[in-house]
Amino acid sequence: MSNESLLTLFRENLTLLQALGDPVRQDIIIILASNGELNVGEITALTELSRPAVSHHLKILKESNIIRMDKMGKNNVYSLDAKDSLKKLKGLISEVENSCNS
């Protein structure tokens, strides 16, 4: 794979990599993995963060296609939904690995 193509793969994964690089967002991912669907208040109760801080991190995770938000009555409920993002990331990892073995 050319350097340009590899760089393109990195750029396509940039938002995901940035989202995953934050320890608070890692904690939220683990909370959702352990508890399934939760609203902002439930996530906040499981962290030491303020509700606005949790909402900020949830927004970044949602924009990175790691989680999804569904309306349930008056609440927004969040859950993990990272298959597509992880598939792209696996493609990047595979190409970097192949480049190392060349």
Fold of 3-101: Arc Repressor Mutant, subunit A (1.10.10)
Rounded to two decimals, the pTM is 0.87
pLDDT in tens, 13-30: 999 999 999 999 999 999
Q: How far apart are CA 99 and CA 2, in angstroms?
A: 9
pLDDT in tens, 40-84: 999 999 999 999 999 999 999 999 999 999 999 999 999 999 999
SS3 state at 94: helix
Q: How far apart are CA 77 and CA 82, in angstroms?
A: 16
Q: Are 7 and 50 in contact (CB under 8 A)?
A: no
Domain parsing of the chain, residue ranges? 3-101
When pLDDT is cut at 50, 70 and 90, the band that residue 100 belongs to is: confident
